[in-house]
Amino acid sequence: MDKAKVVEIKDLGITYHTIEEETEALRDVNLDIYHNEIIGVVGPSGCGKSTLLSIIAGLIKPTKGSVRVNGRLVDKPLNNVGYMFQSDQLFEWRNILNNVLLGLEIQGKLDDEAKERAKEMLHSYGLGDFIYSYPYQLSGGMRQRVALIRTLILEPDLLLLDEPFSALDYQTRLAISDEIGTILKKEEKTAIMVTHDISEAISMSDRVVVLSQRPGTIKKIFDIKLSCNKERTPLKSREAPEFRHYFNEIWRELDIHV
């Protein structure tokens, strides 16, 4: 792959200690992620998916191994890494524009040019009529779009998505994942997305990483190649003939017993 390497994860492991016991959450995780690549991470509940994101974000320190983003060792939160949580985390007392501008305000980078750029992004992604509205006036899908724009306006080199659509109903989830997947590709962003939804992972990702039961290790990585790749969107991906094959293969790797 001739693209620039954005993330380098080497021999990563973490063990949580309590008075009674120690729990190994992740073991020997090795993964390279490249520019403009979307990586989906799936695995059984409790296998360390969200922990992996927190380590990459610099929120948790690993017990062993390392993470580098654009060559820089992650040992604390980095300004060039954006994190989008399950909840949109919008402040109800701030209008949509001011929610989008919050990160720039905190970083001391808020100026008239930034405000214009925020307005342009809101218009570009279908929220132009809601710039001065408040979060409670928006649908769940629209709120998630605002949360994404708030992250993108900081121009992060890496975007971390932790179950970003899990709070939405199924139809809205399909629509907003299609919109956000398209936005990420248009903005040429590198992203890691944790999800429990295999279909979502396949439809949005260039590669899907399957983690094992705890302690989480990489069982297999699927390179997603679909016949619609040239004009690929998440919704078109679900219509590709190869989609079902990937779904069945990933399901088998998950080895979930119910």
What pLDDT shows up at residue 256?
61
pLDDT at 118 over 80: yes
- What is the rounded distance in angstroms from the CA atom of residue 44 to the CA atom of residue 37? 23
- Residue 129, classified by CB atoms within 10 Å of its CB into exposed (0-12), middle (13-18) or buried (19+), is exposed
pLDDT(154) > 60: yes
Give the model's pLDDT for residue 2: 63
**Low-confidence winner among 129-133, 138-142, 192-196 (lowest mean pLDDT):** 138-142
Judge whether residue 176 has pLDDT over 80: no
Distance in angstroms (rounded) separating the CA atoms of residues 198 and 141: 20
Q: Write the pLDDT tens digit of every residue in 62-105.
A: 999 999 999 899 988 887 888 887 778 889 999 999 999 988 88
Full-model pTM: 0.86
pLDDT tens digits for range 13-31: 999 887 777 889 999 999 9
Residue 113 has pLDDT above 80, yes or no: yes
pLDDT band at 258 (very low <50, low <70, confident <90, very high): very low
- Whether 35 shows a pLDDT value over 80: the answer reads yes
pLDDT in tens, 184-221: 888 888 999 999 899 999 998 999 999 999 899 999 99
- Other CB atoms within 10 Å distance of the CB of residue 51: 20
Within the chain, all domains assigned CATH 3.40.50.300 are found at: 1-80+157-258
Which amino acid type is present at position 50?
S
Does the domain made of 1-80+157-258 have the CATH classification 1.10.3720.10?
no
- pLDDT over 80 (residue 166): no
Q: What integer pLDDT is reported at residue 208 of this predicted model?
A: 96
In this predicted structure, the answer to whether residue 257 has a pLDDT above a threshold of 80 is: no
What is the mean pLDDT of the segment spanning 34-59? 91
User: What's the confidence (pLDDT) of residue 8?
Assistant: 95
- Whether residue 168 is predicted with pLDDT greater than 80 in this model: the reply is no
pLDDT of residue 27: 94
3-state secondary structure the chain: CCCCEEEEEEEEEEEEECCCCEEEEEEEEEEEEECCCEEEEECCCCCCHHHHHHHHCCCCCCCEEEEEECCEECCCCCCCEEEECCCCCCCCCCCHHHHHCHHHHHCCCCCHHHHHHHHHHHHHCCCHHHCCCCHHHCCHHHHHHHHHHHHHCCCCCEEEEECCCCCCCHHHHHHHHHHHHHHHHHCCCEEEEECCCHHHHHHHCCEEEEECCCCECEEEEEECCCCCHHHCCHHHHHHCCCHHHHHHHHHHHHCCCC
Give percent above pLDDT 90 in the chain: 46
Q: How confident is the prediction for the chain on average, in pLDDT?
A: 87
